[in-house]
Amino acid sequence: MIFVTGGAGYIGSHVVKELINKDYEVVVLDNLSEGHREAVHVKAKFIKGDIRNEQDLISVFSQFPISAVIHFAAHCYIGESVINPAIYYENNVQGTLNLLKVMKNYQITKLVFSSSCAVYGKTNNVISEKLDTKPINPYGWSKLMCEQMIKDFYKAFSLNYVILRYFNVTGADIKGQIGEDHNPETHLIPNILEHLLGKKEKIQVFGNDYETKDGTCIRDYIHVSDLANAHVRALEYMIENKNTHKIYNVGNEQGYSVNEIIKVCENISKKKATVEYVNRREGDPPILIASSLQIRNELNWEAKYDLKQMIETAWNWFTAYPNGYSKITNIEDE
Q: Would you please indicate which residues are annotated as catalytic (active-site) residues?
A: 139
Nearest Cα to 234, choosing from 68, 52, 102, 10?
68
What is the spatial distance between Cα 223 and Cα 246, in angstroms, rounded to a whole number?
Answer: 22
Residue-level length of the chain = 334
What is the Cα–Cα distance from 227 to 247, expressed in whole angstroms? 15
Instruction: Supply the DSSP string of 167-217, one letter for each residue.
Output: -EEE---TTSS-----SS---HHHHHHHHHTTSSS-EEEE-S-SSSSSSS-
State the helix-helix crossing angle for 54-63 and 95-105, rounded to 10 degrees.
30
114 sits in the region (left: phi over 0; alpha: psi -120 to 50; else beta) called beta
Alpha helix locations (H) across 84-178?
85-88, 95-105, 138-157
Q: How far is CA 96 from CA 51, 90, 101, 227, 228, in A?
A: 7, 9, 9, 21, 20
Q: How far apart are CA 58 and CA 165, in angstroms?
A: 27
DSSP string, 52-73: TSHHHHHHHHHHS---EEEE--
How far apart, in whole angstroms, are the C-alpha atoms of residue 170 and residue 120? 20
